[in-house]
Structure 1
Amino acid sequence: MKYLKDLEVKEFTFFGGKVRFRQPKTHRLSVVEVLFISNLKGIKRKSKVVDLGAGFGTLSILTSLRYGCEVWALERDTHMLELLDYNVRINGLEDKVHIVEGDVRFVEKFMEKNSFDVALLNPPFFPKSYGFESNKFHFEVDTQLTDFIRAVKYLLKDNGKLNLLYTTFRCVEAILILLNNNINPFYLRIFYPKMDKNGKFLHIYGVKNRRGNTVIEKPLIINKDDGEYTKEVKSVLESFL
């Protein structure tokens, strides 16, 4: 893989060998992403799904495997595109996961408006001002959350659904951006590392051009005090695929 010579990668199997990922050492599949996918809303087998900023394919591949839907995986980074292509092929999903090379900031130039039922979004959440020497994939370099949400608004049909995984420390900002783009947050669920810790991640489920009340769902606690996964997390991991 010619573009990966400067990126340290390893290949792993997950879920009893049912899925394989070749992934960067500094940007790996996490239990938070698995929990997010297990909690997705609004997806059916016939849904047309778009994953914006697909990376090496975590959301696209696992969503397609779990829900049986087709996913269009949008990515612009050359390193990630090579990993994404490899991971789609090694998991036999060439007919289910469609790779789209492009920049979310200019999505109207190469994708059709109002064409998707569901959008998945797990964007970089640290502002560029925080510095990104160690892992650029978690930092906003030249694309901000506003750019991603504008692309979601463009791509989703009326009443189309968005599942957004984001950081809690930018919760208010995220909700305001969604509302400014006519995407109403219907459900929010916060992921907590432990019962006595502050929430770290937030799953927002929103619907385009639809009004309604917002439900704050029960918290998702990942680890018990002894470091073991909670009963809910173990159940998700055991039955995921």
Structure 2
Amino acid sequence: MITNLKQGERLDDLQIKGYEIIQHPGKFCFGMDSSLLSSFVRVKSQDRVLDLGTGTGILPILLEAKTKGKHFTGLEIQEESADMARRSVLHNHLEEKIEIITGDIKEASAIFGHVSFDVVVTNPPYMIGQHGLKNETDAMTIARHETLCTLDDILRESAKLLPFKGRFYMVHRPFRLAEILSKMVTYKIEPKRMRLVYPYVDKEPNMVLIEGVRGGNSRMTVEKPLIVYEKDGSYTQEVLELYQPK
């Protein structure tokens, strides 16, 4: 079955379990960060997972493909993106495993209730301030800049949504790492595992993957660096392996 596409949309092959996703190249398409986060997240068989700011639903779809989680929910404030996500869920026949909700991250705990998920994941806007801002309502701007939600909003709501020992996962930028770790501790989501992602072995890291535990003890493991590309621009073997189901 081919889902009805709206003007400007395309259907992209996710190269796992035959799944495909609807995207609009003129809006915002998922990138390497979501793919790497989906492989970093640890989901158990009975876990209920929430993706804050799901966009077109890439993380719930990839996590359903790669893990044995019980149910996956995506929360997205932009109705156009949420609509694409819902149609992708239907297209892949995943409506019993994935639900997409239109709503504001700042109100997530009110929408779902406290202690309602075992795992919270997020690929949030990375940029702060006015740097590079052109249109605050533009889909790409909302996805990249903290115009509609901040790091504090995400951590505050995640702390309310998770039970004691519930797990939080995020991909972000290393230039904000000190702020991220400090604020995670403030909201009692203890940083437990971290991995820096390097585009090439001789370049600076451009992503950081972080796991936190609600109410966890103060001890963090820093995993070995993840290198994305070989010198010739091809993916490293480890990155290729990360695309496979767990």
TM-score (normalizing by structure 1)? 0.91
Q: Relative to 1, partners in 2 of residues 1:216 and 1:100: Cα closer, same or farther, differing over 3 Å?
A: same
Contact between 2:33 and 2:123, CA under 8 Å: does it hold in 1?
A: no
Q: Equivalent residue of 1:46, what SS? A: coil
- The residue identity in structure 1 corresponding to 2:214 is K
Cα RMSD over matched residues?
A: 1.9
Moved more, 31-40 or 59-68: 31-40
Question: Who is 2:131 aligned against?
Answer: 130
Q: Equivalent residue of 2:164, what SS? A: strand
Distance 2:14 2:64 in 1: 15
Distance 1:240 1:172 in 2: 32
Q: CA deviation at 1:9?
A: 2.7
Q: Relative to 1, partners in 2 of residues 1:16 and 1:109: Cα closer, same or farther, differing over 3 Å?
A: closer
Question: Who is 1:176 aligned against?
Answer: 182
1:197 and 2:216 aligned: no
Could you tell me which runs of 5 or more consecutive residues in structure 1 were left unpaired when the two chains were aligned.
Answer: none
Distance 2:181 2:109 in 1: 23
Q: Equivalent residue of 1:157, what SS? A: coil
TM-score (normalizing by structure 2)? 0.90
Deviations 1:188-220 (A, max 9, x none): 101100000100111110000111311111000
What are the within-5 Å matches in structure 2 for residues 3-42 of structure 1? 8-15=8-15, 18-25=18-25, 26-41=27-42
Runs (4+) off by over 6 Å: none
Q: Relative to 1, partners in 2 of residues 1:214 and 1:33: Cα closer, same or farther, differing over 3 Å?
A: same
What are the within-5 Å matches in structure 2 for residues 7-86 of structure 1? 8-15=8-15, 18-25=18-25, 26-41=27-42, 43-69=43-69, 70-86=71-87
Question: Who is 2:241 aligned against?
Answer: 235
Q: Equivalent residue of 1:211, what SS? A: coil
The structure in which a higher percent of residues are strand is: 1
What are the within-5 Å matches in structure 2 for residues 114-153 of structure 1? 114-133=115-134, 135-136=140-141, 137-153=143-159
Q: CA deviation at 1:111?
A: 1.3
- How many aligned residue pairs are there? 235
Question: Who is 1:103 aligned against?
Answer: 104
Distance 2:41 2:126 in 1: 20
The percentage of aligned residue pairs carrying the same residue is: 26
